[in-house]
Structure 1
Amino acid sequence: MTGSDDPRQPLRRNFDWNLLYTFLVIVQEGSITRAAERLLFRQPTVSNALRRLEEQLGKRLVDRGPGRFELTEHGSVLYRECQEICGSIGRLRQLLDDDGAELTGHLTIHMASHVAFPPLDDTLAAFHAHFPRVTLDIEIGTSSNVTQAVLAKEATLGICLVHEKHPRLDYELLYREHFGFFCGPRHRLFQRRGLHLEDLGGETFVSFRTDQLTDALRPVAMLRAQLPVQGPTVGTSSNLEEVRRMIVAGLGIGPLPIHVVDREVRDGVLWQLPPYDEPPAVDIYVVTNPRSRLGRAERLFLESLIARAGVHEQGALELPGNRRLPPRTG
């Protein structure tokens, strides 16, 4: 078959590639209205773009109706491809800036809010000292959002908790952190010694949105399930700072990474609660997309981070103070 006989040629010549990005945003927002707000378009413009895309492809992509917005089978296939296509287009500038002269480029890192890892800080400092013209963007989100950003090639790499590994992504174990339960100065258990896990039964909780048996903080959720009576959850957030704020304010007790809040415990802002022995452990990974073609700056940063973390030689790193805590007794 010659090129002129290829039935795909008219689509290639006449296709409006901007429609793919509009479709990507529509699916991400789950709404024509919200997509229009994000794109700064009028709602009829976005609705018309979806209609034109369906006409050009000859497939229905979205089933819409009152209170209903669902991708068709064809829509799901196209959405996966749009993530790849739009992610690759967004990275073209970074790849073209890598001209072999003084290192330039841009790193986009998505990470969970509670990542506190000295080798990461050391990598950032050393990398900037060697390559000051490379710019950096760090986005904070849930571990699920971090994974999706890497999958869609919106991020150079992700650093997050991992419940289930995606088959299309690569994972390197950075370190293991341990979570403890804490309360603030306004709580009745503050500065109480000799407590046991059962003493937490019935207390109100604040926590991360991923504190679920089917999500990234499964070990914490499993520990909560051991309480004789599970009190109500009165506050949640995806951000560590906000979870900590609610705990300090006395809304309830909640989980925090032990090494992250060590100074606040010493300063009397937070009080650690049981269990003191073998607190829940969660592994933190650096996540990359093998389909992403990394620029030189991105590749060097990733290699430096993995080398400093000692992943290949040491496995998961146990941070100071995370291993085993002595019980606090009166």
Structure 2
Amino acid sequence: MRELDWNLLRTFVVLAQSRSVTEAAAKLRLTQPSVSAALKRLEDRLGKTLIERGPGQFRLTEAGEHLRREAVEVQGSILRIATQMRDVTDEIRGHVRIALASHVVCPLFDRVLAEFHAAHPHATLSLDVRSSAEAVDAVTDKSASLAVCLVRDRNPRLEYHRLYREFFGLFCGPPHPLFGRHGLTQADLAGYAAVGFETDRLGDMLHPVTLMRAQAEMPHQMVGVSSHLEEVRRMIVAGLGVGALPLHVAARDVADGLLWQLPPRDTEPPIDVHVVHNPKTRLNRAERSFLTRLTETIEATPIEARTYR
């Protein structure tokens, strides 16, 4: 075990994220036989079958799933070594990688970004838009400094801070038959097609929004989905169907005549957006500074001032 080759673990991580040896080989730019041989050497070294493979079958065994979790953490730590070495200076430098959901519109977060840049102009940031689940995964495997996203199930290995609360409403675009109509009730939405986010389904992160559609007796099957707010908005404006958006995000489009809010009014479901980070991640100085500034600002700001309608 002391002589375990990291290259074998790296190959296994890619295999675990693929649907076949052929797909993994393409990602690694290696031949299929060399990837198969690497997997065989790793299984021989560990004395465990890691992937059950055969005609139409390619899945991790229990041992493989355990190794995948550990190997992903090791990979994240190795990738951060270079960043740690560059961070030896009196001036705060370094890179902060933030994974965030596309519908994050939060003045408090924007203010922290501005203050951080003013205080540390040589630090850099990247904002990677992902689905909420992917953002949490990035924090778990240490490839992101922190995430700003919706949360469904809390991982006890991660830490969570509620950043803000938003409210979702239902909207339609100018081509839709309900656009511009006053005096509508929730019952008027029955039977109309819907568009929405990939997490807009029962038991998922936008569960309250799914219930709101169900109460209006709209079809369960959506005609269009996306993990990006901009694309959900595009489908609503284009008239593909009724869709849910955060009220404070849609306000400008409503004022510009591009969106029309539908019932229910004043009973829109609240959705909390969280900052998520991994306490086991060895942060560089820029990451520590940004996370500290953000969490301290959250704690110092009453939730009423972080609630947007």
- Normalised TM-score (structure 1): 0.89
8 Å contact kept, 1:176–1:317: no
Give, in angstroms, the shift of residue 88 of structure 1. 0.9
The counterpart of 2:214, out of the listed 220, 225, 236, is 225
Please name the residue that 1:12 is paired with.
2
The counterpart of 2:264, out of the listed 270, 275, 279, is 275
My pick for the range that moved more, 195-204 or 43-52, is 43-52
Any idea what the Cα deviations from partners look like across 1:231-261, whole Å, max 9, x if unmatched?
Answer: 6410111111111111111110111111112
My pick for the range that moved more, 234-243 or 100-109, is 100-109
Report sequence identity in percent: 50
The counterpart of 1:112, out of the listed 95, 101, 120, is 101
Q: In the aligned structure 2, how far is the partner of 1:45 from the partner of 1:184?
A: 53
8 Å contact kept, 2:97–2:126: yes
Please name the residue that 1:6 is paired with.
none
Secondary structure at the residue paired with 1:104? coil
Matches within 5 A, 1:175-324: 175-230=164-219, 232-308=221-297, 310-311=298-299, 314-315=302-303, 317-320=305-308, 322=309
Give, in angstroms, the shift of residue 313 of structure 1. 5.2
**Unpaired segments ≥5 residues, structure 1:** 1-10, 323-330
Q: In the aligned structure 2, how far is the partner of 1:231 from the partner of 1:84?
A: 38
Aligned partner of 1:139: which letter? D
Give the root-mean-square deviation of aligned CA atoms.
Answer: 1.6
Please name the residue that 1:76 is paired with.
65
Q: In the aligned structure 2, how far is the partner of 1:186 from the partner of 1:276?
A: 22
My pick for the range that moved more, 79-88 or 49-58, is 49-58
Runs of 4+ with deviation above 6 angstroms: none
Secondary structure at the residue paired with 1:284? strand
Q: In the aligned structure 2, how far is the partner of 1:229 from the partner of 1:239?
A: 22
Instruction: Give the number of equivalent residue pairs.
Output: 309
The answer as to 2:44 corresponding to 1:45 is: no
My pick for the range that moved more, 94-103 or 171-180, is 94-103
Any idea what the Cα deviations from partners look like across 1:30-80, whole Å, max 9, x if unmatched?
Answer: 332332232233333322222221122221100012222211111011011
Q: In the aligned structure 2, how far is the partner of 1:140 from the partner of 1:300?
A: 22
8 Å contact kept, 1:163–1:218: no
Secondary structure at the residue paired with 1:101? coil
8 Å contact kept, 2:214–2:220: no
Change in Cα spacing, 1:43 to 1:261, as seen in structure 2 (3 Å) is farther
The counterpart of 1:59, out of the listed 48, 73, 84, is 48
Q: In the aligned structure 2, how far is the partner of 1:183 from the partner of 1:48?
A: 55
Secondary structure at the residue paired with 2:249? coil
Q: In the aligned structure 1, how far is the partner of 2:305 from the partner of 2:212?
A: 22
8 Å contact kept, 1:169–1:290: yes
Give, in angstroms, the shift of residue 318 of structure 1. 4.2
Secondary structure at the residue paired with 1:282? strand
Please name the residue that 2:118 is paired with.
129
Aligned partner of 1:104: which letter? R
Change in Cα spacing, 1:241 to 1:33, as seen in structure 2 (3 Å) is farther
Give, in angstroms, the shift of residue 208 of structure 1. 0.5
Give, in angstroms, the shift of residue 229 of structure 1. 4.8
8 Å contact kept, 1:203–1:231: no
Secondary structure at the residue paired with 2:112? helix
My pick for the range that moved more, 24-33 or 76-85, is 24-33
The answer as to 2:82 corresponding to 1:88 is: no
**Unpaired segments ≥5 residues, structure 2:** none
Secondary structure at the residue paired with 2:267? coil
Change in Cα spacing, 1:153 to 1:221, as seen in structure 2 (3 Å) is same
Q: In the aligned structure 2, how far is the partner of 1:95 from the partner of 1:314?
A: 35
Q: In the aligned structure 2, how far is the partner of 1:271 from the partner of 1:40?
A: 50
The answer as to 2:10 corresponding to 1:34 is: no
Change in Cα spacing, 1:150 to 1:231, as seen in structure 2 (3 Å) is closer
Give, in angstroms, the shift of residue 317 of structure 1. 4.5
Q: In the aligned structure 2, how far is the partner of 1:266 from the partner of 1:120?
A: 24
Change in Cα spacing, 1:167 to 1:51, as seen in structure 2 (3 Å) is same
Aligned partner of 2:125: which letter? L
